[in-house]
Structure 1
Amino acid sequence: MPPNTTASTGQQPGKSGRKKGRKARLLLLVLVLGLIAGVTGGAYWSISTVRASFPQTEGSLTLAGLSGPVDVKRDGYGIPQVYASSDEDLFMAQGYVQAQDRFYEMDVRRHMTSGRLSEMFGQGQVDNDEFLRTLGWGRIAQEEYDKTLSASTKKYLQAYAKGVNAYLDGKEGKDISLEYAALGFTNDYKPEQWTPVDSIAWLKAMAWDLRGNMQDEIDRALMTSRLGPKEIADLYPQYPYSRNKAIVQAGRYDATTKTFGPAGSSSAAGSSTGGTAGTAGTSSSSGTAAGLQSQLAGLQNVLDDLPTAVGVNGNGIGSNSWVVAGKYTITGKPLLANDPHLSASLPSVWYQMGLHCRAVSSKCQYDASGYTFAGMPGVVIGHNQNISWGMTNSGVDVTDLYLEKLSGDGYLSDGRTVPFKTREETIKVAGGTAKKIVVRETDNGPLLSDRSSELVKVGKKATVDTAAPDRGDGYGISLRWTALDPGTSMDAVFAMDRASDWSDFRKAATLFDVPSQNLVYADTEGHIGYTLPGKIPTRAKGYDGSVPAPGWDSKSRWTGYIDDDELPYEYDPSRGYIVTANQAVIDKAKYPYTLTTDWGYGTRSQRITDLIQSKIDDGGKISTDDMRQMQLDNSSEIAKLLVPQLLKIDIEDQDVRDAQELLEGWDYTQDADSAAAAYFNSVWRNILKLAFGNKLPKELRVKGQCLWVDPVNTTGPADQTDKVRECGERDADQAQPDGGDRWFEVVRSLMDDRKSDWWTTPRSGTRPGATDRDGLFKRAMIDARWELTAKLGKDIDTWSWGRLHRLFLKNQTLGTEGPGFLQYVLNRGPWKLSGGEATVNATGWNAAGGYGVVWVPSMRMVVNLGDLDKSKWINLTGASGHAYNAHYTDQTDKWADGELLDWSFSKKSVDDGTSDTLVLKP
């Protein structure tokens, strides 16, 4: 269900507008809940009841378990800085403060990661819980706590949990959050005590959404039903190493010592343990192919319905981070920027916080500030007194799907039937009957296909001929994934928080096994660096993870993991900067291992590189504000390629010609008020639809994206019937590419082949067909003109990109699935945004579902290693998860405008900016 708007015009609300909107919602909430209470015989809900869950931020509180007093200082945006005299007190206070602001969010997250959403929200979440129990995040998190994490990490997790539970002590649901009061109308759910495992499991959810190329693996396999090898290769072009530079540009892999060094060229160039994309087939038999196609199509449906943790079900997610050495900065010390691109959520997935020991010592080791997740101790991204670090998703391939041949109570492996490993799971359902499921596992991992009755049915009916490996009950799909083994990523968080130099940081990074991230580094001594951590599998020759592998052949299984000493890194490169934006980590000719076949294609990373290099070439010095401006770069790289060709096309229709003229003189900048950006992006979407949409298998339709298709001319709530109609038409019609930078590269590689079959499209009504590239471009320009006429009106002078490209912030769970009045109360928006797909200012949209914003720079930061108090930061929403708290979305307007807040770190700077102080006493 779409969110409602805060203002009838759809404009960004001003300060007075926000106050009026908040008061109007509060009044509506009280009236509606009062009416419900009257009907049900309950007590009338007052404004004071609604505000009962707001945190105490001044005065003092007693917390049993503290060894000494802790100060919690909040600035004007409610961002807390915590001061303690021992590690345990520091993390206990962190747990208490995060629970004050965000416990409902924390509670939802832990139920998702443990496959227990049905306990909160009832029968509608049972299917999701079944799948998540099959993955077993909670079970693996428990194993990590029991077997792999260090004693100190366990101690911190216990202290954090103690702080959360101190907050919960004696409180009813309505005292914790408005959402619990709403849930109370339908079930009697009561929040339970927090545990250390609840904190660990969130890293598994994050790893799932950042899992790499699993979707591409599915898509490539499904394409074989309609496309040949050459056509599939067209849609997955090689990474353009010569044009878009890899992250690591100087380094040498020594095949003798099996270590990666900081300089020189690879002595192992050309060798590889991986094959080429698409070589890992399962069998050429019609039976095996049928089994694979049916199982993957069903699995795709299951995956589309899953709730997301931080991403959009693993599709299209990226991030930017870069670091510039002091020789090119105004301060003479490094500057480090980071803006992770994640799903837009309310509250933001990130929580800003400072964790300070009054005196750093062996008893109290931390002085760090930055971004973390509500529900997890420590700082995930940020800086301490000596170093700073940022992260982007590396995209390395850590998941493989296996087609399994099933027979009775077992599965085929090297010609013999092996019994499944099984476990029983009980799913409790709020307001309903508990359900038991059996999870089956092969040596390759859990059977994902068991979680859909349709998949099981299809698997048993799959045609099997004499070329298939065996005759029996059919097929299933299993998953091998590094995150399904116990790891040490929680250890890594604390180790990075207390690292004092590059050596410490590299050691800490080796503990960060899942998810694999690009880590950039800078320190106050002037050094910069990059390292790739992670548990990254190696595969046998002929298997590169690009398509599902035959589970019945043990040769298809992983052969081991790349050693930490072999992973690429850079330290103080001579060029003076390092850029990571999900591009290739290293040129495949310089490295012996196949890290993945599915990098991002480097559109953003090369643009950032060009911006930095241009500043250097001009002899200028880069400032903190220059870094901020780079984060806001809206330039469209695909527009630079296509617009010159679009302007050459002869257009007869004057209305279409008027739209074409918008592109004349356009600087390719996608500002919110740009009519040219609106028209070009519509042309781009229609090019993709016409060239590829009707040629792809129907199984590749992007389901669920219709949730983002909101009518743009409405002044109030979006019309649900319009949304359903658009979804239905698209699903019945064709698959639609998402429009990310892989598609930039696909189109670029086809531009010179003007007669390619991809450029053909049939006539539709009065609109012409096409037999070549320019003919298809012409048709796309026509279709785009009339699409925008329908959406924005006939007068092109009223068009703007921001009217199409809008951000709605939806509160978790009840803001998307709750009653309409609750959605109005909890949700915010829209905001008209600049930026776009695969731009540095990556306000992403999915061409399969419209122009609405589906992922965003979830935060932005610029760390000044010359003076940490002059660093800057911003969050997508605010510190609070309480709908009427002043800090619910108080950063969003500034975020949308590209502004950054002052980021105090030193005791004096924090004190100067403190608005409220709460003392926690033992």
Structure 2
Amino acid sequence: MAATVATFGLLVPGADARVSRAEGVLPPGQSGYVSLTGLLSGSGSPHLYDQQPLFVNFQRKPFMLDQPGGTTEQPKQGVTIVRDAYGVPSITGDSDLNAWWGAGYAVAQDRLFQLEAFRHATKGRLAELTGKDALEDDLISRRDYYTADERAQMLARMPAESRARLEAYRDGVNRWIRHVNLDLLDPVGVLDLPAEYVATLTPVEPWTLDDSVAIGIFLGRTIPSGDGSELRNLRVAQKSGRAALEALVPLRLRGQLSTIPKSEGRFPQGPELTPAQERAALDRSLELASKLPAASRAAVAGAAAKNDLAAGRIGRVGGSSMFTVRKPGGGALLFNGPQLGFSAPELFVELEVHAPGIDVRGVTAPGLPIIGTGHNENVAWGITSGLSDEDDLYAEKLVPGQPEKYWYKGQIRQMDCRDETFRYKEGVSALLDGRVPELGSTTQRICRTVHGPVQEREGNVAYARRYAIWKRETETLPAMEQVNRAKDIQDVDRASRQLTWNENLMAADSKGNIGYWHPGLFQQRPADYDQRLPLPGTGEAEWPGLIDRASLPRVINPAQGWLANWNNVPSQGWTTGDSTADERLGGQFHRVGWLMWLVRSLAKAPTWEGAERTIRQEGSVAQQRPLAGRRLRLAAAGASGKAARVLAVLRAWNGDYTRTDAAGTVDPGVATWDAFKQQADRIATAPLGPVEGFAAKPSSTHQFDATDRQAYALRTLDADGYRRAAAAAFDALKARFGSDDPARWREPRRDIAVPAQGAAQAPRQPFFDRGTWEQLIELEP
């Protein structure tokens, strides 16, 4: 792309430069260790919950390399582990492999039972640990991912250096496992064995390479993006027609907010179709939809559940934010706040690694010898879920009476099917009730077609998912190793072209260069069918291939001097696809609009203190309220009665949902804004007919964000529609609070539960729309 060539011409030349300041926070804490004696109270390590107060008060701890140590350990010759005041380990190895051996050892000390849960979850064995409720998760893990033999083949294709790091990490984990197993023989009592092993009657088995590979595969595919929403879109098309589909799931939106400015180039996902070609493709897809069985509510709900990961698995696709700003005279600021669902312990674990050729600190998922987001001496980087459409759902035409045979290119094909046995037990609850945990099993039939795993069946059709990243998830690990060792932005750029996952990547170097990439493997879509609906599996809608990664969205040193992303589209020309991420359907009301407004202001005078104010405002304001200011003003100009009173409340409120009065209640604008959005949704979508499958309220991760339907209402209703929504909101608020006085429309400050991934019992915390890990880094020339 011409824009890419131009941006490379603006690279700042090298000089002696460094990361000059860095802070981070990982609530509730670094450790996940709960002792046997602390099982009922969720206590054990002093670092279980010690970072939660920092987080709640928008504070962070030091995140620079070489923090002062509190304890020092040498578990092996050539390996030294120094832990800081928050229990974060700094591992120094006399070789690269010894350093990652130490990382495995230290992470096992902090998160051994979480490692256990992760390897069970990613191999479809979570029900063996936690009980029957995880059986559906286990089915998805085995159905949509790989067998042990396939994982072994993927491991064998990895570079020798990456395999060696995995082996060293494995050996470090196993050294700690050997220690806790010896604890069981200690006559004084169990010392370092996590209580969950005893509570669930789970033996502490050795860690394997396959365990780490399974976790890496899961992270490489599921955290960056979920599956598509084709079945939901199919139901809308079948029930409500073309107009409803195009209204609620548009491929493009006027005012779409992209991380790469329009002036820096247009990066479509493959060849762009003309409007006429897109209309013809939709005509063809709607004709197919009319011949497919009616998409059931159960099938739509099942697909939605797949995209919203259960608490027992690794994280949730909830969003993440990041920004970077160039400083006058050189240097840069970078912030990253991955939002992966609060839990105790968190998905991420923090560590620092020193070895010949590498000095790096950051966070990663337990089980992998890599730093996912963090900094070294010269480069800082962050990631957010890409959430782009990198898979397609194929409608396989079944042979009547033969559910495992289907038509493909004029031939009858046999599905690749196998029986999988799933075991389960009740887990902790049985022991606490004085009962022996129930043991049981069930068998499920799992099938694949030429396109991929069969996820749903309706009548004479089986729906199979084809993934662009299929069997290539592990290629991301060596690419991220390159990012960890990057000396400047050019090194990050080279590494980005090897990534196979769709995590947005943003980086800054100490020379003052900033950059953004939207990497991964993406399909070349068949031009004759619409992106939003299932494709025919009979052979006429095959992918021509994958998109050249060199042509994917990326920019270095944009003229505006800043970049921001909150899971929005990467560039102009990029479509919403099948709406894997419904929030992208908000157009100019996407939550990133608020972040961009803040960062644009910060870029005028980029300072550390200004970045801190930006982070606070980003994480404490209902994003669409400031974005709707002009429309609210226009609606208020002609309002009277109930509508005028509601609009006055909204205009007087700045969107902050965290400030409370002496009674602990928030501004009346909080409840009023929620009621207004709900009524606007009802008014705007009523003419469209049934629109099932779209979220009725925001997710727990983004409680004050707008749903896709609410954003549709905010961007399509005129001033009169806003007034009608306001009047209806008045009646709803009066009924809820028993008063027509807006001053009484105050609700308690909302909080968010912090679920456990073990026996940890973190206290509830006030809600913020913020990262579950946050890092702020300053780089100077």
Residue among 518, 521, 544 paired with 1:559:
544
Residue among 174, 194, 215 paired with 1:177:
194
Q: In the alignment, what sits opposite 2:406?
A: 411
The CA distance in 2 between the partners of 1:786 and 1:806, in whole Å, is 24
Letter of the 2:551 partner, please give it: E
Q: In the alignment, what sits opposite 1:345?
A: 343
- 1:494-529: CA deviation from partner (whole Å, max 9, x where unpaired): 111112223322222222202x12211211122222
1:801-816 → structure 2 map (5 Å cutoff): 803-812=748-757
Letter of the 2:572 partner, please give it: D
The CA distance in 1 between the partners of 2:252 and 2:611, in whole Å, is 27
C-alpha contact (below 8 Å) 2:335/2:776 kept by paired residues: yes
Letter of the 1:190 partner, please give it: P
1:140-219 → structure 2 map (5 Å cutoff): 142-143=151-152, 145-172=154-181, 175-183=192-200, 188-210=201-223, 212=225, 214-219=227-232
The CA distance in 2 between the partners of 1:595 and 1:189, in whole Å, is 43
Seen in structure 2, the aligned counterparts of structure 1 residues 623 and 103 have a Cα distance that, compared at 3 Å, is same
Q: In the alignment, what sits opposite 1:865?
A: 779
Q: In the alignment, what sits opposite 2:430?
A: none
1:613 and 2:606 equivalent? no
Partner secondary structure for residue 216 of structure 2: helix
1:519 and 2:505 equivalent? yes
C-alpha contact (below 8 Å) 2:230/2:532 kept by paired residues: yes
Q: In the alignment, what sits opposite 1:536?
A: 522
The CA distance in 1 between the partners of 2:232 and 2:124, in whole Å, is 26
The CA distance in 2 between the partners of 1:401 and 1:492, in whole Å, is 28
Q: In the alignment, what sits opposite 2:717?
A: 751
What is the percent sequence identity of the aligned residues?
A: 20
The CA distance in 2 between the partners of 1:248 and 1:635, in whole Å, is 24
- 1:401-440: CA deviation from partner (whole Å, max 9, x where unpaired): 1222222131111332111112343323344234333321
Residue among 575, 578, 598 paired with 2:563:
578
Greater mean deviation of Cα atoms: 639-648 or 151-160: 639-648
What's the offset of the Cα at 1:69? 3.3
C-alpha contact (below 8 Å) 2:352/2:360 kept by paired residues: yes
Q: In the alignment, what sits opposite 1:632?
A: 616
C-alpha contact (below 8 Å) 1:96/1:160 kept by paired residues: yes
Residue among 552, 559, 568 paired with 2:553:
568
What's the offset of the Cα at 1:197? 2.6
1:732-881 → structure 2 map (5 Å cutoff): 740=706, 742-743=708-709, 745-752=711-718, 754=720, 774-787=723-736, 789=737, 803-812=748-757, 826-833=760-767, 843=769, 856-866=770-780
1:668 and 2:655 equivalent? yes
The CA distance in 1 between the partners of 2:671 and 2:775, in whole Å, is 32
Letter of the 2:757 partner, please give it: Q
Q: In the alignment, what sits opposite 1:445?
A: 452
Please tell me the root mean square deviation across aligned C-alpha atoms, in Å. 4.0
Residue among 331, 334, 345 paired with 2:332:
334
C-alpha contact (below 8 Å) 1:579/1:609 kept by paired residues: yes
Q: In the alignment, what sits opposite 1:887?
A: none
Residue among 464, 475, 480 paired with 1:478:
464
The CA distance in 2 between the partners of 1:252 and 1:689, in whole Å, is 35
Seen in structure 2, the aligned counterparts of structure 1 residues 301 and 686 have a Cα distance that, compared at 3 Å, is closer
Letter of the 1:177 partner, please give it: P
Q: In the alignment, what sits opposite 2:234?
A: 221
Letter of the 1:857 partner, please give it: G
What's the offset of the Cα at 1:811? 0.7
What's the offset of the Cα at 1:799? 5.8
C-alpha contact (below 8 Å) 1:333/1:526 kept by paired residues: yes
- 1:346-403: CA deviation from partner (whole Å, max 9, x where unpaired): 212221211112xxxxxx3211111111222121111112211111222221121122
Aligned length: 688
What's the offset of the Cα at 1:292? 4.0
Greater mean deviation of Cα atoms: 682-691 or 81-90: 682-691
Seen in structure 2, the aligned counterparts of structure 1 residues 693 and 615 have a Cα distance that, compared at 3 Å, is closer
Q: In the alignment, what sits opposite 1:881?
A: none
The CA distance in 2 between the partners of 1:139 and 1:266, in whole Å, is 33
The CA distance in 2 between the partners of 1:52 and 1:237, in whole Å, is 50
Q: In the alignment, what sits opposite 2:51?
A: none
What's the offset of the Cα at 1:441? 0.7
Gaps of 5+ in 1: 1-17, 19-24, 34-46, 254-259, 358-363, 450-454, 463-473, 710-736, 755-771, 815-825, 835-842, 844-855, 868-922
The CA distance in 1 between the partners of 2:37 and 2:649, in whole Å, is 44
Letter of the 1:336 partner, please give it: L
Letter of the 1:859 partner, please give it: W
Q: In the alignment, what sits opposite 1:426?
A: 421
The CA distance in 2 between the partners of 1:78 and 1:225, in whole Å, is 56
What's the offset of the Cα at 1:283? 6.4
Letter of the 2:118 partner, please give it: R
C-alpha contact (below 8 Å) 2:229/2:578 kept by paired residues: no
The CA distance in 2 between the partners of 1:486 and 1:573, in whole Å, is 31
Greater mean deviation of Cα atoms: 383-392 or 675-684: 675-684
What's the offset of the Cα at 1:236? 2.8
The CA distance in 1 between the partners of 2:119 and 2:520, in whole Å, is 24
Q: In the alignment, what sits opposite 1:323?
A: 324
Greater mean deviation of Cα atoms: 636-645 or 624-633: 636-645
C-alpha contact (below 8 Å) 2:285/2:530 kept by paired residues: no
Residue among 256, 279, 282 paired with 1:279:
282
What's the offset of the Cα at 1:139? 4.1
C-alpha contact (below 8 Å) 2:680/2:710 kept by paired residues: no
C-alpha contact (below 8 Å) 1:382/1:389 kept by paired residues: yes
Q: In the alignment, what sits opposite 2:97?
A: 88
C-alpha contact (below 8 Å) 1:663/1:680 kept by paired residues: yes
Letter of the 1:644 partner, please give it: R
1:500 and 2:506 equivalent? no
Seen in structure 2, the aligned counterparts of structure 1 residues 144 and 435 have a Cα distance that, compared at 3 Å, is same
Seen in structure 2, the aligned counterparts of structure 1 residues 139 and 327 have a Cα distance that, compared at 3 Å, is farther
Letter of the 2:126 partner, please give it: L
C-alpha contact (below 8 Å) 2:315/2:347 kept by paired residues: no
Seen in structure 2, the aligned counterparts of structure 1 residues 51 and 339 have a Cα distance that, compared at 3 Å, is closer
What's the offset of the Cα at 1:295? 7.1
What's the offset of the Cα at 1:707? 11
The CA distance in 2 between the partners of 1:436 and 1:96, in whole Å, is 36
Seen in structure 2, the aligned counterparts of structure 1 residues 322 and 272 have a Cα distance that, compared at 3 Å, is farther
What's the offset of the Cα at 1:753? 8.0
- 1:51-86: CA deviation from partner (whole Å, max 9, x where unpaired): 7999xx9777664xx4x3322222221122112211
C-alpha contact (below 8 Å) 2:657/2:749 kept by paired residues: no
C-alpha contact (below 8 Å) 1:320/1:581 kept by paired residues: yes
- Report the TM-score, using the length of structure 1 for normalisation: 0.67
Partner secondary structure for residue 433 of structure 1: strand
Q: In the alignment, what sits opposite 2:79?
A: 70
Letter of the 2:210 partner, please give it: V
What's the offset of the Cα at 1:343? 1.4
Letter of the 1:352 partner, please give it: E
Greater mean deviation of Cα atoms: 281-290 or 621-630: 281-290
Seen in structure 2, the aligned counterparts of structure 1 residues 352 and 774 have a Cα distance that, compared at 3 Å, is same
C-alpha contact (below 8 Å) 1:273/1:541 kept by paired residues: no
- 1:773-831: CA deviation from partner (whole Å, max 9, x where unpaired): 533431122213433x27xx998667656x252111111266xxxxxxxxxxx433332
Partner secondary structure for residue 352 of structure 1: strand
The CA distance in 1 between the partners of 2:698 and 2:580, in whole Å, is 26
C-alpha contact (below 8 Å) 1:237/1:745 kept by paired residues: no
